[in-house]
Chain A
Amino acid sequence: MLGYTLRRLAATIPVMGVVALFVFSLLYLSPGDPAAIIAGDIATEEDIAKIRARLGLDQPYFIRFGTWLWALAQGDLGTSIFTGLPVTTLIGQRLEPTLALTLCTLVVAVALAVPLGVIAAARAGGWIDRVVMAVSVVGFSVPVFVLAYGLVLLFAVQLEWLPVQGYTPLKEGFWPFLRHMILPSVALGLTYMALIARITRASMLDVLSQDYVRTAHAKGLAPGTVLVRHALKNAAVPIVTIIGIGIALLIGGVVVTETVFAIPGIGRLVVDAILRRDYPIIQGVTLLFSAVYVLVNLLVDLSYVFFDPRIRY
């Protein structure tokens, strides 16, 4: 297990290397000369050249990539052009709302989608199955922000049950926090839920046709026990896999959801950075989100051992 973990960890290095190279290339290619910006309007060509040399901007591509990687290894993601603050500081300030939103969505989506998928498979062809499948098709087709505005119009503007937008930190009370989280989480989570429910149903259908499930029924186990203990556990690997892959949906959706609901998180930070052409922020967040995605999927890979003891490393 330890050997496998290390090997699997090593396998993420080339992937993150490609991501790093890509992100660095964007920085390298980004228009505008940072040296000229730092030097200001009255600087001479010589001043700019001096600053460029000091920043190492006159070095060749791979030397600069090396320098950048070295800084990255020390936790330096560069400095925001607009605010002059380190990108890591800016991300740190915005971390809490984004973390809250993604975790809420993740928990709610998984807690709803897996049981729905299981029931749909157990009663394949029944009305629950049809509803789950129909909702999942719709879930793939309605973009996050369209659903978000639909929900806002109905529940916030018309019915006035929930706030239109905004964010309240958890430390100001659980209920205000939750009230602001409900609509964003539902909007962000629907596509993700659709994905998980679909795969759960498919995986369960596969397992339910196995001989050992028939045996379990035949020896008189309660249907619920068969479904959860015998079927779901054996159907778990594809489900966990899709939960991991689907994280990409959540991460991408965060950018949009935070814009719709005016949540001051990392997604909003990126959107503001686009409007200001603040490249270091865009690249820093791209790198961070990709790293999270890779890490989650590494954990998913390692979790297979738990769900399927036949898998040994």
Chain B
Amino acid sequence: MAEANPASPPVVTPVNSGTAWRRLGAALRRHPTAIAGGVTLLVMILVAVLAPWLGTVDPTDVSPIRRLKPPSAEYWFGTDMLGRDVYSRVIYGTRVSLTVGLAVAFVATLIGLAIGLVTGFVRWLDAIVMRVMDGLMSIPSVLLAIALIALTKASLTNVIAAIAIAEIPRVVRLVRSLVLQLREQPYVEAAVASGTRVPMILLRHILPNTVAPLLVQATYICASAMITEAILSFIGAGTPPNIPSWGNIMAESRSLIQIAGTILLFPGIFLSLTVLSVNLLGDGMRDALDPRLARRL
């Protein structure tokens, strides 16, 4: 159709990386909330990196005499039932959350991309892989992660792996649908006609055009992975309890809700703020990279 009439717009506009970045910059300027999200996320990353120098003490340091102190000049967020400094624990918790969020986004996107590219192009694989993905997607991701974690020992790596497995099907679906659209493009047909091998087509012609939507998807995966990690830790199926993660801090102080609710409040606020910042950044990027969708959502 596009070959017959060069004037008609193609289904997918191939995104030139240069203009994509420029559009991203322009859109971010138009979306102050996305900038706010980006700045907040940057601050959180700095907090995670600089945790030892932010007036924190050892987050695992137990001291029975200073148990359950309310927030004060000395203990900004108070202390917990073991006398540990809640401020230090929350600050160090930033590391866990961001590590899991970024690692899951990276791993799930990479693996999902690989599977999606191949299944989008290799017809006989498509049916099988997509049935498997449909099956995995019909298991609620929290339960899927719980079931996987229950098999292994609780460790940060296992948490990352379990959440990544739950997120991969979404990436595969996105990549596959992009590939199916892109392979109808005249330049891909031309490449096929001129005898380019499939791996080369995938690498040179398809892959570059999946980057922009994948970047947006990766941000949302990062946000949802941080929430899932916190949920897993909170119900005791996630990050080992000796590591101060936001979910763990909230799980430990669950019974204290009536006497020291602030301990629950601080990690909750940090978690929500971080997830919000990632989501805002993702929304901004989506608007920038897909102006058609942006007008509607």
A30: chain B residues within 8 A (beta carbon): 150-151
Binds B, one of A45-53, A86-94, A100-108, A281-289: A281-289
What is the chain A residue whose CB lies nearest that of B143?
A: A286
- Please tell me if the beta carbons of B144 and A198 are within 8 angstroms of each other in the complex: no
Task: Judge if B272 is at the interface, Cβ distance under 8 Å.
Answer: yes
Task: Judge if A9 is at the interface, Cβ distance under 8 Å.
Answer: no
- Please tell me if the beta carbons of B151 and A29 are within 8 angstroms of each other in the complex: yes
Task: Judge if B92 is at the interface, Cβ distance under 8 Å.
Answer: no
What is the chain B residue whose CB lies nearest that of A140?
A: B279
- Please tell me if the beta carbons of B231 and A274 are within 8 angstroms of each other in the complex: no
B261: chain A residues within 8 A (beta carbon): 149, 152-153, 157
Choose one: A22, A252, A277; the contact of B135 (CB below 8 Å). A22
B237: chain A residues within 8 A (beta carbon): 271, 274
B235: chain A residues within 8 A (beta carbon): 255-256, 259, 271, 274
Choose one: B140, B151, B230; the contact of A143 (CB below 8 Å). B230
Task: Judge if B103 is at the interface, Cβ distance under 8 Å.
Answer: no
Residue with the greatest number of chain A CB neighbours at <10 A, chosen from B132, B230, B234, B271 = B234
Also in contact, A198 and B297, with CB within 8 A (given A141-B275, A153-B261):
yes
Q: Roughly how many angstroms separate A31 CA and B150 CA in the complex, as a whole number?
A: 9
Q: Roughly how many angstroms separate A16 CA and B139 CA in the complex, as a whole number?
A: 10
- Binding site secondary structure of chain B: helix
A175-217 residues at the B interface, CB under 8 angstroms = 198, 202, 205-206
Task: Judge if A237 is at the interface, Cβ distance under 8 Å.
Answer: no
- Please tell me if the beta carbons of A286 and B147 are within 8 angstroms of each other in the complex: yes
- Please tell me if the beta carbons of A282 and B147 are within 8 angstroms of each other in the complex: yes
A26: chain B residues within 8 A (beta carbon): 147-148, 150-151
- Please tell me if the beta carbons of B271 and A153 are within 8 angstroms of each other in the complex: no
Q: Roughly how many angstroms separate A202 CA and B294 CA in the complex, as a whole number?
A: 10
- A interface residues, how many (CB within 8 angstroms): 56
Query: In angstroms, how far is the closest chain B Cβ from the Cβ of A158?
Result: 9
- Please tell me if the beta carbons of A282 and B150 are within 8 angstroms of each other in the complex: yes
- Binding site secondary structure of chain A: helix
Task: Judge if B290 is at the interface, Cβ distance under 8 Å.
Answer: no
- Please tell me if the beta carbons of B139 and A271 are within 8 angstroms of each other in the complex: no
Residue with the greatest number of chain A CB neighbours at <10 A, chosen from B235, B271, B280, B296 = B235
Choose one: A29, A202, A251; the contact of B297 (CB below 8 Å). A202
A153: chain B residues within 8 A (beta carbon): 257, 261, 264-265
- Please tell me if the beta carbons of A270 and B272 are within 8 angstroms of each other in the complex: no
Task: Judge if B83 is at the interface, Cβ distance under 8 Å.
Answer: no
Residue with the greatest number of chain B CB neighbours at <10 A, chosen from A17, A140, A146, A205 = A146
- Please tell me if the beta carbons of A252 and B151 are within 8 angstroms of each other in the complex: no
Also in contact, A149 and B265, with CB within 8 A (given A137-B280, A202-B297):
yes
Task: Judge if B223 is at the interface, Cβ distance under 8 Å.
Answer: yes
- Please tell me if the beta carbons of A141 and B143 are within 8 angstroms of each other in the complex: no
B-facing mask of A66-81, CB < 8 A → 1, else 0?
0000000000000000
- Please tell me if the beta carbons of A143 and B143 are within 8 angstroms of each other in the complex: no
Closest 10 CB pairs of A and B: A18-B135, A252-B142, A146-B268, A141-B276, A252-B140, A141-B275, A153-B261, A142-B272, A251-B140, A274-B237
Chain A interface residues (CB < 8 Å from chain B): 14-19, 21-23, 26, 29-31, 137-138, 140-146, 149-150, 152-153, 157, 164, 198, 202, 205-206, 248-249, 251-253, 255-256, 259-260, 270-271, 274-275, 277, 279, 282-283, 285-286, 289-290, 293-294, 297
A-B pairs with beta carbons under 8 Å apart, 16 shown? A18-B134, A18-B135, A26-B148, A26-B150, A140-B223, A141-B275, A145-B250, A149-B268, A152-B257, A157-B258, A202-B297, A256-B142, A274-B236, A282-B147, A290-B139, A290-B143
